[in-house]
Amino acid sequence: MLNRNQTLQYFCSKCNSLLKCTTTNVDPSKIIEACPHCGNLLSETLEVRQSKQKEVLLPEFQIAQSIPVLTFGLKQLDAFFLGSRIGDILCIIGPKETTLLASRLSVRALLPRRLGGLESSVLFIDGGNNSDIYQCVNFARQYGLDIKKVLEGIVVSRAFTIHQLAWLVIYELPKAIERFGSKLVIISGILTLFTQDPQVDQKEARRLFREVMTAIKRVSDRALIVITTDNMLGYKDMFAKLKNRIEIHYDDAESDIRLVASNSYRSKEIILPEKALRLVKVE
């Protein structure tokens, strides 16, 4: 039993860093953060010790149940990221499978929180003319959702020039998040217009893209942002600060897809059958 002179000190057992002092018991299994000093998951390394020292004010832990998180419904990816949440910016890099993952997340965001969704509408900005409404319908059917409600819950805007895309992200997106209350924003094919139009002045394009990335970071405290691109050619420096990534490597000769998932602390190679991206459940 604790008396009023005793506090609990919570340490990371891996690096022995003091993280919090409190008289309240904390369940380590419900902690979602990694240790800010060594990067190990606190759900695995949190250790409690008793102390008679005066309580020190340290940041509060966030309890997993109190924060809505979006999952892929893909066991290995979800085990790595532990869900994505408002404040995160996730970059998905690769070929056509980026559209599959974007469609999957769009539909899952509509699901209840207890099923790994956000109970939220989705804002989908299509910069590469690769949004796939049929794939969204396919996922909705697999989940047994009302097709009409799903389509009403995914608000799509298309851009056909770099200036249209920049206007949508910089000026229209903040207002749309407020209007629709969306907790998920997907910007699909974000680099396509910047790299595939030979008439685009690259100096102007880089300036605009820098403004787009700044605007994305500005609204990330209001929604989870997912960006997809087929590559980062010529713009890799502007993606450098985006630590949450999924890189897709696809070999037409193989039926498996190799994903490289990474965050601020680690990376992991994940092998999935191609059909796993298309199906809710794979036997």
pTM, full prediction: 0.77
CA separation for the pair 282, 169 (Å, rounded): 36
Report the largest interatomic distance among the alpha carbons of the chain, rounded to a whole angstrom: 73
CATH number of domain containing 251: 3.40.50.300
> Is residue 283 included in any domain, yes or no?
no
Residue 84 and residue 134 in one domain: yes
List the end-to-end C-alpha distance of the chain, in Å, as a whole number.
49
For 197-247, how does the pLDDT look when each residue is reduced to its tens digit (9 = 90+)? 778 888 999 999 999 999 999 999 999 999 999 999 889 999 988 999 999
Range of the domain at 117: 67-278
CA separation for the pair 259, 267 (Å, rounded): 10
> Is residue 132 included in any domain, yes or no?
yes
Q: With the C-alpha atoms ordered 271, 273, 276, 278, is the resulting torsion angle positive or negative?
A: positive
End position of a domain, from candidates 49, 64, 79: 64
Residue 103 and residue 231 in one domain: yes
CA separation for the pair 231, 203 (Å, rounded): 19
For 3-43, how does the pLDDT look when each residue is reduced to its tens digit (9 = 90+)? 445 677 877 888 777 777 777 777 777 777 777 666 677 78
Tally of structural domains, the chain: 2
> Is residue 241 included in any domain, yes or no?
yes
Residue 236 and residue 140 in one domain: yes
- Spatial contact of 228 and 101, defined as CB atoms under 8 Å apart: yes
The phi and psi torsions of 102 (rounded to 5 degrees) equal: -65, -45
- Spatial contact of 165 and 125, defined as CB atoms under 8 Å apart: yes
Residue 214 and residue 183 in one domain: yes
